[in-house]
């Protein structure tokens, strides 16, 4: 009998990440970072469009005026 033999561990060759606290924390961090970046991009597009319509007047019948844009925005 071998006293110092390591026990044999049988596995299917794929490590399991289920239940790993570090993986869970990283996933939450990643989702939060993506949410913040998405929110920042949306706010940037809204502010950019509002600034564009404020300084450049409507040039055709389909373009909304700056007053109407501000009236329907979430900032007012």
pLDDT tens-digit map of 9-48 = 766 666 666 667 888 889 899 999 999 999 999 999 888 8
How high is the pLDDT of residue 15? 63
Cβ–Cβ under 8 Å, residues 65 and 58: yes
pLDDT tens-digit map of 53-65 = 766 665 656 667 7
- Ranges of each domain in the chain: 35-76
């Amino acid at each position: 009998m071998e006293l110092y033999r390591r026990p044999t561990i049988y596995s299917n060759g794929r490590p399991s990440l289920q239940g790993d606290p570090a993986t869970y924390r990283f996933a939450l961090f990643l989702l939060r970072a993506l949410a913040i970046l998405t929110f920042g991009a949306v706010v940037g597009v809204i502010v950019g469009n509002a600034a564009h319509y404020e300084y450049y007047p409507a040039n055709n019948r389909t373009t909304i005026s700056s007053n109407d844009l501000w009236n329907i925005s979430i900032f007012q």
